[in-house]
Amino acid sequence: MANIKSQIKRDRQNEKRRLRNRYFSGRARTFLRKARRSLEDGGLDQARQTVLMAVSALDKAAQKGVLHKNNVARRKSRLMKHLAALEKQTAG
């Protein structure tokens, strides 16, 4: 435990930020998992809806600075690529 007043405050701030970051990263991870599962199941409408929710959660995490914007862009790109393949598969 810190004895210095400024470090005690810094510890409080870090704990607040850790919890906030954990909320947004966990939420993004959950929606990604749901989106991948729905893409595997093959239901197009459900997959489209969950992918959009995952994209929204990823964007929110990037906006808050929890995830890097390029990391988010890569994940969104991969999700959309899988969704496009599913759409092509069901249409053709």
pLDDT, tens digit (0-9, with 9 covering 90-100), for 11-58:
999 999 999 999 999 999 999 999 999 999 978 999 999 999 999 999
Look at residue 61 in the predicted model and tell me its pLDDT: 97
> Would the pLDDT of 6 be above 90?
yes
Residues comprising the chain, all counted: 92
> Would the pLDDT of 92 be above 90?
no
CA distances from 7 to 1, 21, 69 (A): 9, 20, 30
CA distances from 60 to 8, 54, 65, 66, 92 (A): 30, 10, 9, 9, 34
Look at residue 91 in the predicted model and tell me its pLDDT: 81
Look at residue 90 in the predicted model and tell me its pLDDT: 87
Structural domains of the chain ordered from first start? 5-91 (1.20.58.110)
Torsions phi, psi for 24 (to 5 deg): -70, -40
Q: What is the model's pTM?
A: 0.88
